[in-house]
Amino acid sequence: METRSKTSSTTTKSNTEVERGGCLPFSPCTHQPHVSPALDEIPRYLYRVHAPSTAGRTTADQVASRAAVLGRPDAEVDILARPARDAAEMLNCHLRGWARDSDNLMSWSSSLLFVLQYALWRTIKIGPDDPSEIRLYVLDTTSLPPRAFVPDSALLDTFGGVDSWKSRSLAGVRRLRRQTPYNFGEYLCQGALSIEGSTASATLQQIIDHGLFRLCPEMGEPNDRMELAKRVVKLRNHCFDVPRTTTKAEVRTAIALAEGCFGDEWALPMMASFLSLCKRLRNDAVIADAFKANFSEKEMQQHELGALKTFPHDRLPEVEQFARIIQDINSDRSTRAVDSVIATTMKLSSMSLLEKAVVHPLKV
């Protein structure tokens, strides 16, 4: 994950800027101490699902909240600059999925496991969406302006006590995130955000056709109760109970999913993401060899694997697995580089000794 720059200044965007899809940053005040440090803990890659029946707008160029799409004047107002009760109301309704025209937030997740399950759930819910019309987006946040995203936990800590008089308050959501397995790595943006050149997408049908259920058969099992949150927790318990040995067939499927659905530019991080749908052995030679065979050193450098910093991922085993795969790939690269230097040094040393032997032959 990448480190983002800190700031505590207060900035608002004009309605014109929101309409053309710039960025409405989160700008904490001094009395909102939970937010500033959280702005430094934004994952490099975030995922989002969009379907015809979802609120707001998501395209290859822009993601816009329901309020921004409707052209509401308050779509240009930072949630951190709103009256606390208004901010708490909007956050509570958004996180609970209660549709409001005033909703100025859009959700992303650091968990591909959750986003895939959410996409699958949308095909069986009441008023289902067609898999060919459900689109999964992956976003590289490092090319976006600072403060474009904030973890939901930071806003929950900021506004969690404001509506405590309600029976279904933010405090209840915060407890779920902090104390139970129901944490799905949620991050929020607000207003309208330009994402042109920073994202790739594929339909759920494409992902299924390229082998999702071969790589993770558990996701293809019937979900007769139409569960989402409980289903994700069950998948985590089953897929991350013990480390699994990676097979070459799994690697081939992960490559097909990454390249076939998201293209060459995104193949490396998406291959690692798909392989992170279950617990893997550390320093797995099959995984290391697959990345070595499919990606050049130049491609590895372009993705700056060594710069992907990690943060604690409590109750997010799939996100932790992604970080470990990236760490192992980078470690393997470093080991190979050292081995290459040693081999070159030994070769040069041997050549030097041979030259000396030719110039000064031993006398018999």
What are the pLDDT digits (tens) for 182-208? 999 999 999 999 999 999 999 999 999
Kindly state whether residues 162 and 288 are assigned to the same domain.
Answer: no
Structural domain boundaries enclosing 88: 15-204
Considering only residues 298 and 115, tell me which one the structure prediction assigns the higher pLDDT: 115
Rounded CA gap, 73 and 77, in Å?
Answer: 8
Question: Is the same domain home to 188 and 42?
Answer: yes
Answer yes or no: is 342 within a domain. Answer: no
Residues 24 and 90 in one domain: yes
Compute the average pLDDT of residues 153-169. Answer: 85
Summarize the confidence of residues 55-83 as an average pLDDT. Answer: 97
Between residues 297 and 288, the one the model is more confident about = 288
pLDDT at 364: 47
Residue 221 in this model has a pLDDT that exceeds 70 = yes
Q: What b/e readout covers 213-228, taking b as 16+ CB neighbours within 10 angstroms?
A: ebbbeebeeebeeeeb
Is 8 part of a structural domain of the chain?
no
CB atoms within 10 A of CB 57: 17
Same domain, residue pair 49 and 160: yes
If asked whether residues 312 and 164 sit together in one domain, one would say: no
Confidence of residue 169 (pLDDT cuts 50, 70, 90): confident
| CA-closest candidate to residue 321, choices 207, 245, 243 | 243
Q: Among residues of the chain, what percentage have pLDDT more than 90? A: 73
> 326 lies in a domain?
yes
Whether 269 is covered by a domain: the verdict is yes
Asked if residue 154 and residue 91 are part of one domain, the reply reads yes
Q: Which of 176, 204, 232 is the last residue of a domain?
A: 204
Among candidate residues 178, 204, 230, the one where a domain is terminated:
204
Q: Are residues 167 and 295 in the same domain?
A: no
Mean of the per-residue pLDDT values of the chain: 88
Q: Is there a domain that residue 221 lies in?
A: no
How many angstroms separate the CA atoms of 261 and 208, rounded? 10
Residues 148 and 262 reside in one and the same domain:
no
Model pLDDT for residues 237-257, shown as the tens digit of each residue: 999 999 999 999 999 999 999
pLDDT given at position 335: 66
Q: Is 307 a residue whose pLDDT tops 70?
A: no
Mean pLDDT on 91-115: 96
How many domains does the chain fold into? 2
Q: Is residue 2 part of a domain?
A: no
* Residue 66 sits in the same domain as residue 196: yes
Bridging pattern class, strands 135-140 and 45-50: antiparallel
How does DSSP classify residue 64?
E
Residue 196: inside a domain: yes
For 63, 100, 285, 297, 333, the CA distances from 340, given in Å and listed in that order, are: 45, 59, 18, 13, 10
Residue 42 has pLDDT above 90, yes or no: yes
The predicted structure's pLDDT at residue 243 = 96
For residue 103, pLDDT beyond 60? yes
Residue with the larger pLDDT of the pair 165 and 171: 171
Question: Does the residue 6 lie in any domain?
Answer: no
The reported pLDDT for the residue numbered 8 is: 36
Q: Note the pLDDT of residue 311.
A: 65
Q: What is the pLDDT of residue 358?
A: 65
Q: Distance between CA 197 and CA 4 in Å, rounded?
A: 19
Same domain, 59 and 196: yes
Residue 4 has pLDDT above 50, yes or no: no
Residues 218-238 have a mean pLDDT of 96
Q: Please check the confidence at residue 326 and state whether its pLDDT lies above 90.
A: yes
306 has pLDDT over 90 = no
Q: What is the pLDDT of residue 275?
A: 98
Residue 339 pLDDT greater than 90, yes or no: no
